[in-house]
Amino acid sequence: MRIAPVGGLLVAVWFLGCSSSSSNTTSGGGGTSSTTNGGSGGTPSTTSGSTMGEAGAGGAPATLESQVSACSEGLSDAEIEANLELVGSLDQSVHELVACGGLTVRVVAALVRGVIEMLANNDDDITPDGLVFEGEGSYRSGASDANQDTDMLLVFSDTSSGEPVPIPDDVFLASTYLVGARAETVVVVDDDNPLNSTVVVEISFDAVGPQVELLGFGAEPESPIRIESSELDELGLDIDDVVLETEVTVVDDRGDSSVSYDVATGPDPVLDIFDSSRLDYRILEVSGSNTPVEQDLTLADNGWQIEFAGGNQLVGSIEFSVNGDAFDYDGRFTYDSTSYAEIELSCSE
């Protein structure tokens, strides 16, 4: 049997950012949905003029105006639009969860599939762009533009002890698993039958890192670790006991309206997220106001039921009320595997 070195193997680059305005998110472009359906990921269309204001910035679509006509008689178009401005701000702010959900799924994929590739490629660090390690299993991603600030915290924990314990080490660094790792791709030649030759990646190292067991080769693997190249694409970390929690804070200021909320997911098994690309966003806190017209937005009881369903898709509903100024009204956002809401409004009783 003869062993011969060959060229390198894999390259993986991850560009991330929890912002719907980022070119690397899974969300659609800016703008706000039509009243009936926001579409599955593209930029919802809006038009200018007195009959349709820019939702979330200078008013709401005229079709929303017609839904509250019974309680807005005698008001000008501008007054009605001002009273509906909070609807557009809420719609645009919730759309940000499309981007944050997509970022979370890509971070998980980088961990599950990227670590072995990192070692095989002689890379030191595969931290996704836009993600900052803060210690004790915590990573943060933030984005900001003229209308919106978004902050997302991700925490990886080990549950092998029965309780979630934050992983203290940076899971995107090679040294977390193997110290002084260096890989070489070789061909193992069968002298009796050269057609049975096998391409193997040999990963040599100086010492094991604190999370070496996640590689799936035991607590004290011998150097070099040998992996057949045909197995690299399917080989992932041994992370059955690793869970992920996230918390997202969004502040959306458009025109005179301001909407802010905090949502959280997990703790969810990382492999479940990897397999399903789904996240259940439970609400922690929400507020909305339009100071010039003295309006406040409040959620109905159990009024927030939103799930990220992969791709550009949200599933679920939001029920809310807006009180103050010229008239009060209730609203319902429905997401049927769409990125923006189907919006229904009605005058409050």
Higher model confidence: residue 43 or residue 236? 236
Closest by CA to 30, choosing from 48, 55, 52, is 55
Of 90, 58, 64, 61, nearest to 259 by C-alpha is 90
With H, G, I as helix, E, B as strand and everything else as coil, classify residue 100: helix
CA 166 to chain centre: 20
> Using CA atoms, how far apart are residues 7 and 203, in angstroms rounded to an integer?
14
Nearest to 236 by CA among 188, 190, 270: 270
Tell me the whole-structure pTM to 2 decimals: 0.80
Is residue 161 assigned to a domain? yes
**How crowded is residue 118: how many other Cβ atoms within 10 Å of its Cβ?**
22
Residues forming a β-bridge with 196:
none
Residue 43 binned pLDDT confidence (cut-offs 50, 70, 90):
very low
In a domain, 240, yes or no: no
Residue 248 is assigned to a structural domain of this protein? no
Which of 87, 70, 51 has its CA nearest to residue 288? Answer: 87
Residue at token pair 């990192």: 118
- 328-344 pLDDT, tens digit each: 999 999 999 999 999 99
> Is residue 218 domain-resident?
yes
Q: What residues make up the domain containing 221?
A: 2-16+131-231
Helix (H, G, I), strand (E, B) or coil at 297: strand
**Total number of domains constituting the chain:** 1
The torsion angle over the Cα atoms of residues 301, 303, 304 and 307, rounded to 10 degrees, is: 120
In a domain, 49, yes or no: no
Express each pLDDT in 307-330 by its tens digit. Answer: 999 989 999 999 999 999 789 999
Does 68 reside within a domain? no
pLDDT one-digit tens code per residue, 238-253: 899 999 999 999 999 9
Exposed, middle or buried: residue 44 (CB in 10 Å: 0-12, 13-18, 19+)? buried
Does 296 map to a domain?
no
Is residue 143 included in any domain, yes or no? yes
- For residue 105, the one-letter residue type is V
**pLDDT value at 35 more than 70:** no
Q: Residue 72: how many CA atoms within 13 Å on its side-chain side?
A: 24
At 18, is the pLDDT very low, low, confident or very high (cuts 50, 70, 90)? low
